Amino acid sequence: MSVLTEELRERIKAEFPKYPSKRAVTLPALHIVHDAMRAVSTGAIEEIAELLELHPSEVHDTMSFYNFFKDEKHPLGRHRVWVCRSISCMLRGGEELLEKLAEKYGVHPGQTTADGKFTLEFAECLGACEGAPCILLNDECHMDMTDQSASELINRL
């Protein structure tokens, strides 16, 4: 039985004309699958490799190089919360913000809450130093965060 839906397969194939080789579609394919399934399972890696005419280990190597992707043992929650800990954010309370959020929601960075609602992670830099400390909530950057303002955003989810 196939892990990837026909829609996911077609979305991956639609990337082929945009790149010089199928191998170059590895990262976009991983993003497509990860966004849809909140993780990239071993079965998905094998099917991506088949589509791209690669060995599964080549797809796995790309996936494991980036902290962004989760596997089936550690799927993402419905929402992803990145707390920046660059030097700018650290100097303005980013580390403390991360600690307080971890304590409040009962998770360590990299873990997902028991209810599966969100995954808390740290980022080395979100590129919003002028608004330090900042968080990336799903795909939206929020600046000048405090534990209270970050908690309010998270609670709205």
Mean pLDDT, 10 residues at a time, over the chain (157 residues)?
94 98 97 94 97 98 89 89 94 95 94 92 92 94 94 87
Residue 66 confidence (pLDDT)? 82
Residue 74 confidence (pLDDT)? 85
Residue 54 confidence (pLDDT)? 98
The reply to whether 12 falls in a domain is yes
Find the CATH number of the domain harbouring 142. Answer: 3.40.30.10
DSSP string, 110-141: TEE-TTSSEEEEEES--S-GGG-S-EEETTEE
The reply to whether 1 falls in a domain is no
Q: Global pTM?
A: 0.77
Q: Do 57 and 92 sit in the same domain of this protein?
A: no
Residue 157 confidence (pLDDT)? 80
